[in-house]
Amino acid sequence: MTQYEKILQMWRSFNIKTVADLDMRLDSFKVLFAYNSGKIENSEVTYEDTREVFSDDRVSSFSGKPTTITEISNQRKCYKFLLPQIISAEPLTLELIKEVHDITTMATYDDRCYFELGERPGSFKKTDFVVGINEIGATPEEVESELKSLLEELHNEKNYMEPAQILRTASYFHVWFETIHPFADGNGRVGRTLMNYMLMSNNHPPLVVYNDDKKVYYSALDYFREGEDLQPFFEFSQKQLEKTWHKTLECMEKRKQ
């Protein structure tokens, strides 16, 4: 049995049925995920600040940009919002995507984005924001139809949601979401959150995309954008999942012994 298969077996052995069950299993994960996901795009984010916000919704001392703490607090709010959705396995919809973005980016848009361009949390971009040297991103007019097509493809192709395919499916969703780049800001944080939403709502462990590995992360995304080859990103996702849960797995195996 591979390391990945052992982790998947471990997760399913938890027999998670309630919000309390899920919250208990994610006690350490939620802080680690929020810290790394925020740190990838904001160097001011620290683990200690993230831990304090998730514990008390405040920090004891901070001298950086206020939006940094707001971003962390928003991650906490989004985590709490999604717990019951995961337990009830609500399908991923355009409305849910926009709601996750609204919570994640509330009060974090800069003045130019908010006042000059009229962009808003929870709304698809109005300006032609693109990303990367190849200027990846759908036009504002294309965003909704492209996301609809992506969701329909996932919902209609039953094989995508088979147990052995869930990680590949979530990886596929993530690379296309980041390629479409539907919002003016926050696409990375929202995309990583939604990837884990898909995993957990299908009884699969979530993963952390580690800030230390962000160069490999961006490289795998670029590889897909250049030739629509999912394999490098799928392999990256599997390695990140193993990295996320290997200590928990080791502890459980020691207890059994």
113 DSSP assignment: I
Query: How much is the pLDDT for 256?
Result: 77
Query: How much is the pLDDT for 20?
Result: 98
Count Cβ atoms below 10 Å from residue 144 Cβ, excluding itself: 15
Share of the chain above pLDDT 90, in %: 84
pLDDT above 90 for 4: yes
Higher pLDDT, 129 or 153: 153
What band does 252 get if pLDDT is binned at 50, 70 and 90? confident
The closest alpha carbon to 71, from 193, 155, 153, belongs to: 193
- DSSP track, 14-81: T---SHHHHHHHTTTHHHHHHHHHHHHH-TT--HHHHHHHHHHSS-S---S-HHHHHHHHHHHHHHHH
The strand pairing partners of 131, in sequence order, are: 136
- Report CA-CA distances (Å) from 63 to 34, 42, 68: 20, 15, 10
Of the ranges 33-42, 127-136, 151-160, which one carries the lowest mean pLDDT score?
A: 127-136
Query: How much is the pLDDT for 168?
Result: 95
Query: How much is the pLDDT for 184?
Result: 95
Query: How much is the pLDDT for 61?
Result: 87
What band does 57 get if pLDDT is binned at 50, 70 and 90? confident
Q: Measure the CA–CA gap between 184 and 229, rounded to whole angstroms.
A: 26
pLDDT tens, position by position, 178-219 = 999 999 999 999 999 999 999 999 999 999 999 999 999 999
Count Cβ atoms below 10 Å from residue 148 Cβ, excluding itself: 12
What band does 84 get if pLDDT is binned at 50, 70 and 90? very high
Hey, what domains does the chain have and what are their CATH numbers?
3-256 (1.10.3290.10)
Contact 151, 94 (CB under 8 A): yes
pLDDT tens, position by position, 97-149 = 999 999 999 999 999 999 999 999 999 999 987 666 566 789 999 999 999 99
Count Cβ atoms below 10 Å from residue 97 Cβ, excluding itself: 22
Mean pLDDT taken over the chain: 93
Contact 197, 50 (CB under 8 A): no
Where are any strands of DSSP class E within the chain? none
Half-sphere exposure of residue 244: CA atoms within 13 angstroms, side-chain side: 28
Query: How much is the pLDDT for 257?
Result: 74
